[in-house]
Structures are given as C-alpha cells and as structure tokens.
Structure 1
Amino acid sequence: MSIIFIFLFISIVHSDIPLDVPSFSIDLDHAPIDRWSDIIPNFAQPMNEFNIAIRAQIPQVFIDAAEIIVTRLEEHIPQPYHDELYSIARSISMPLADIVLINLVYELRTYCTSLLVRTSNNTIIHGRNLDFDLNTDLLRRLTFHVKFFRTSNPTFNYESIHFAGSIGLLTSSRSGYFSLSINQRSTDDKDWWMNALMSILHLHSLPLFIITRSIFDNSIMSYQDMKYILQNRHLIAPVYFIITDGRSSGMIITRNRLNSINPIELNSTLVQTNYDHWLDDPSNDPRRTAAENILQSFNSTQMTQDNIFDIVLSVIPVLNKLTVYTAIMNPGEKQDIFAKIRTLKPRQ
C-alpha cells in the first residue's frame, strides 16, 4: 500500500512524459567509413552543442590528451572502429579529437541504476535508468535506438540504446544470447579522468567503446566468453558491468582497472547504482535501496516489464532529473529493447 501511495504522490508533484526513442539500423557488412553517415547528420545540431558544452566544462589538459590520442589513433583504436570514428567526424565536419572526447565522456559519466529480475516464466528482465550529470537535456536529444545486423548472416543482430557520436555500447542486448549495461563506479581518485586518458596513451588499455563493440560484433561470442572478457580485460577506468544470458544466469561484475572484485550472481533480484554492493547505501544515493525495497514487495508473478517500468524505474529517486532514458531488455525472449526518453520535472 505504501508503494502505491508513493507512486501516486510523485505523479502529483512531478511531471514525466516518456517519449519514444527514434530508431535506426546499421549493416556491419558496410564499410566502416560509411556505417554512420546516414544516422549522425540527424543529430548534428545537438552534437555540436554538446561538444561546445564539454569543452567549456572539462579542463584543457583532458582535451589536449584526447588530441594526442588522435595523432596516434592507429596505435590505440583498432579497426574497424578507427574508421567508424572517422565516419562520424566526416559526416558532420567535426574534428576527430572531439569525437574521441565525446566517446570517452559518454562512457565515463554514466550515473545509472541497473537491475536484474528473475520472472515467473523463467526469463530474466534487465532494466536500467541511465542518468547523466552533464547537459542532460542535450543527451535526451542525442538518444536513439540502433539495430546492428549483417546482410551476410540473417541470424545475427543486436540492439543498443545509443548516444549520437558514440560507437560503443552502454545498454545493449543480443536476443537469445546476452544483455549488458554499464554503470560508472565512483572512485576516490581525484585525477581519474586524466588517469583514464593516460592508460590509453601509455598502458595501451582499451576504452570501453572498443571492448563492448568487439563483444557484440562477434557472432560466436557466448555469455561465458563475455563474462570472462569483462572480468579480466584491462580497462581505462573502474566500472560496473551488469550482464545476463536472459534465462539462467546474471551477475554484477565490479571492476578495477586491472581486475574484478567481489562479483555477485543473480538469485531473484539484483540492483546496482554507482557504489559497491557490499557497502551501505550512502545518504546521497538512495536509488538502490528504493529499487530494492520495491522489488522485495513483489511476488514472482509481479515481476513483469510493465511493473518494472511503472513501479520501479519510474519512482523517485530511481527516476530523477538526471535520468536520460529508461530501457528494459529481455534477451531470453525474442523481443526488441523497450526504451523511453524520460523528462522528469517538478510540476509548475
């Protein structure tokens, strides 16, 4: 009864009109230099606005480091992703260094809530709210759904809820195989941004946008293979990987740059925000506790997509003013990602 009261109260004092997410598709059999040329021009204005905003908010030393990466791009970004970055830059006449910087900003600023829920029909729902603390309104204009496929292999495809300019995956599902969401892991390292860039330049660690695409672009990649890569591949920054095969297994992988620590496997429900699951809920991040309390009030038949969207991911503080979109994946079923752009604001 208390959950219903909270939901009704929030709907009275706040306004959220979920918006449809525009959809596009990419044939991975096309040359990498051409893959994004029909999509990115649709987002030219908000991309340029976002780029200007980033350059105004990020210290110049970070921008300089991104420009150094571009001068040695062949050393740090393997093909075909090297050419995909060129494809995006060329399609809207933006400097390549800005595209690299945008990709890094996207994956290093994702303050999110991700959850895994085992349902009564033996599938696993994978939900997430993606929160972003820089230029949230612009990010809403840059959000789209993309389906990747290969003409040469009709059985192969996967989906992503994407930000224009990015070539990586933050929220992605391959039906019948696995799904993935990525949350930033908070760190006490005050120089984490620079350390992330330096790990590319000097340690040759791969950015997440390369790791995630290489996983999903591989037609023979299994859930166990993905799990191994995400637990062991050297990263440029600490993160949380939330993954499931959609049927039997799901887990949260907590990552340092070099290794995984304290992985936790799904029993009935798991919720991850931006702090380690073995720590108490900090007072400034009540999202996980709120989502866990609501899910614990459900019985197995209530673990449905509609309830996850309406009663978990649409309740404050799980839904908040920084939430860009909500996505719900179910890789155990043959269905597309369900996603909505969120617009939460106090009622006037």
Structure 2
Amino acid sequence: MMLVLVLVRAAVLLVGLAVSCSSDFAPPTIDVNLGDEPQVRWMPILKVFESDFLKKAAQEVIDSTIPKWLHKVLRPLIKVSEVLLLPEPYGEELRGMAAHFGTSLSDTIMLNFAYEASAFCTSIVAQDKHGNVYHGRNLDYPHSVLRNLTVNVIFRKAGKTLEKAEDFQDAVLRLSKIPIITGVYYIVGGARAGEGVVITRDRGGPADIWPLDPLSGGWYRVETNFDHWLPSPAKDHRREAAEKAMNATGQEHINMYALYQVLSIFPVCNGITVYTTIMSGATPEKYTTLVRPPDCRASSG
C-alpha cells in the first residue's frame, strides 16, 4: 500500500548510534494481520494515531501536492472510475481506511497518487570483506508531517511473520517476473555473500538486473530514483555523494553503523529525508528504522 509504512521489526540500532544521533527517534510498531478482512486489517493504526490527526495529515499532503483546481476535477473522475483503479484486495483496504480514518475514498486514492509524484529514496546494498551483506535506505518525502506518521509494521499471516520466498534467487525471480502496476526499483539484500541486487522494473518485467560483483570491485550498489546506467540529473547529487562516501569508507570498514553514516551525509540525507532504515538479512534482529530530524546533517555525528 502507498502509505508511508516501514516494513520492519521493532529494533534497537547498533551500540553508540543513539549517542551520535540523539535527535533521531524510533517510530512506533503495529501488527497487521493479513488474515483479517481487507477493510479492517489496517485498523491497528488507530492504536497509535487519532483519526483526526490522520485526516488532517492526509489533507496537508494532498493540498501541498495537488493544485486545488485539479483536486476538484479529479474527485468526481476518481469516484466514477474507482472500480478500475482499485483491484482487490487493495480496493477493500482503501475503502476501509477511508471509512475508519475519516477521509473520502477519492482523497484516499489521491493520496496514493501524491506519493507517486513526490517520494524519493536512496538505497544501498553492500558486502564487507567477510561476505556479510548490508542494506540501507533513506525515504525522502517533502511533507514534514510524515515524520510523525512513520510506523514500523509487522505483517502476520496464520500467526507467522511475513511471507517468504524459498531463498534469495527465488525472491529475485519473483520480484523480476511478476507483473506490477508501475515501474519501480527493487533493492534486495540476502543473508549470504553475493546476495545483493538492484532490479529495475518495467510493468511487465525486468529492464535491468544489477547484482553485486565483489570479485570485480562491485562490492556495493547505490540506487536513487534514476536508472543507474544514466547520468544523474544536474540538480540531484545523492548518487555521487553516496558513492564517494562508500569509496572513502572502503569494503574493509563497511558495517551497519558505517552504512548509517553514509546515509546521513548531505545530500544523501537532506531536508526532506523522513527516515533511514538499516538492515541485514543474516541478522534480522538488527533491522531498524530511525526517523530523521528536519536537518539530519545535525544528527549524523
């Protein structure tokens, strides 16, 4: 779903991180049971946020992203075409959110469009000299209200956490082949050496698969919002800054803390960075997210 939800377990970051990043904070955690009916499965959000706050936040994002005249035009059009826009079970999920969170269905759908138009990210997957694979991500989103709306979500089904592919290769195959509604970049980090890849997706299949290649010097991959084989836009220097920092860190010194530091430098971390997630498939207990302050450079130590 196109909510700003972080799929993480409740976690504590590495020792020392809280000292250097005292203004960062861990978001709350909720459980979502995929066995519940779609229209009620997101109700746990109301345990941590009041519906009035959610309604005002949604309106703020819409108003700052979609011009008022366009909002008025889109509302009736979306209402007429909602059946086409909302394949199941997502339609029932959104209808449930609209009913319980106090927003109209049209605005709930429009909020998804706002996300698509204004969300950015920087993702890095890297392997150290010992074969440990680390994965980090920043979400950039130009709405400060989202710093107070980010949550950790544990998805459960039949009492178990999440659904799993058989292994890393199976996950890569699934993410590469299954048709999706729009293009996307998948950054995948596994639990063993060599298990890291950036998948550039078209709606029907992969446009490019860019794996780690440590033996040839490709011990990390940086992906922002642009195809990695093309130059970055003139005003976007996140990729170059991240690559420079990764090279300065070196493969022999990369770890979860060092990766967090890379994701904390400007402009990788910037005025609209909402959160930073650090994880490693081999040590899921260290999978963590911290919400960043408006100027996260002040907290990078």
What TM-score, normalized by structure 2, do the two folds share? 0.77
Q: In structure 1, how many angstroms separate the alpha carbons of the residues matched to 2:238 and 2:140?
A: 11
Deviations 1:89-131 (A, max 9, x none): 1222211121122223224422111000113443311101111
Q: What is the match of residue 210 of structure 1? A: none
Say which SS state the counterpart of residue 239 (structure 2) adopts: helix
Q: In structure 2, how many angstroms separate the alpha carbons of the residues matched to 1:74 and 1:102?
A: 17
**Matches of residues 1-348 of structure 1 in structure 2 within 5 Å?**
17-40=23-46, 42-53=49-60, 54-55=62-63, 57-59=65-67, 60-61=69-70, 64-65=73-74, 68-133=77-142, 135=143, 137-150=144-157, 152-153=158-159, 156-158=160-162, 218-219=163-164, 223-247=168-192, 248-267=194-213, 268-309=219-260, 311-345=261-295
- Residues 313 and 93 of structure 1: CA distance in aligned 2, closer, same or farther (over 3 Å): same
What TM-score, normalized by structure 1, do the two folds share? 0.68
Report if the CA contact (8 A) 1:271-1:291 is conserved: yes
Q: What is the match of residue 4 of structure 2? A: none
Q: In structure 1, how many angstroms separate the alpha carbons of the residues matched to 2:161 and 2:76?
A: 33
- Residues 274 and 249 of structure 1: CA distance in aligned 2, closer, same or farther (over 3 Å): same
Q: CA deviation at 1:233?
A: 4.5
- Residues 221 and 70 of structure 1: CA distance in aligned 2, closer, same or farther (over 3 Å): farther
Higher strand share: 1
- Residues 79 and 275 of structure 1: CA distance in aligned 2, closer, same or farther (over 3 Å): closer
Q: In structure 1, how many angstroms separate the alpha carbons of the residues matched to 2:285 and 2:79?
A: 38
- Residues 264 and 56 of structure 1: CA distance in aligned 2, closer, same or farther (over 3 Å): closer
Q: In structure 2, how many angstroms separate the alpha carbons of the residues matched to 1:58 and 1:85?
A: 19
Q: In structure 1, how many angstroms separate the alpha carbons of the residues matched to 2:209 and 2:88?
A: 31
Q: Which runs of 5+ in 2 are unaligned?
A: 1-20, 214-218
- Residues 321 and 276 of structure 1: CA distance in aligned 2, closer, same or farther (over 3 Å): same
Report if the CA contact (8 A) 1:66-1:100 is conserved: no
2:57 maps to a residue whose letter is F
Deviations 1:174-195 (A, max 9, x none): xxxxxxxxxxxxxxxxxxxxxx
Report if the CA contact (8 A) 1:127-1:308 is conserved: yes
Report if the CA contact (8 A) 1:119-1:304 is conserved: yes
Q: In structure 2, how many angstroms separate the alpha carbons of the residues matched to 1:242 and 1:90?
A: 34
Q: In structure 1, how many angstroms separate the alpha carbons of the residues matched to 2:131 and 2:150?
A: 31
- Residues 254 and 36 of structure 1: CA distance in aligned 2, closer, same or farther (over 3 Å): same
Report if the CA contact (8 A) 2:126-2:134 is conserved: yes
Q: In structure 1, how many angstroms separate the alpha carbons of the residues matched to 2:99 and 2:290?
A: 29
> C-alpha root-mean-square deviation of aligned residues, in Å?
2.8
Q: What is the match of residue 8 of structure 2? A: none
Report if the CA contact (8 A) 1:63-1:101 is conserved: no
Report if the CA contact (8 A) 1:116-1:270 is conserved: yes
Say which SS state the counterpart of residue 34 (structure 1) adopts: coil
Report if the CA contact (8 A) 2:165-2:171 is conserved: no
Q: CA deviation at 1:327?
A: 0.5
Aligned length: 268
Q: Percent identity?
A: 29
Q: In structure 1, how many angstroms separate the alpha carbons of the residues matched to 2:106 and 2:167?
A: 34
Q: In structure 2, how many angstroms separate the alpha carbons of the residues matched to 1:26 and 1:291?
A: 34
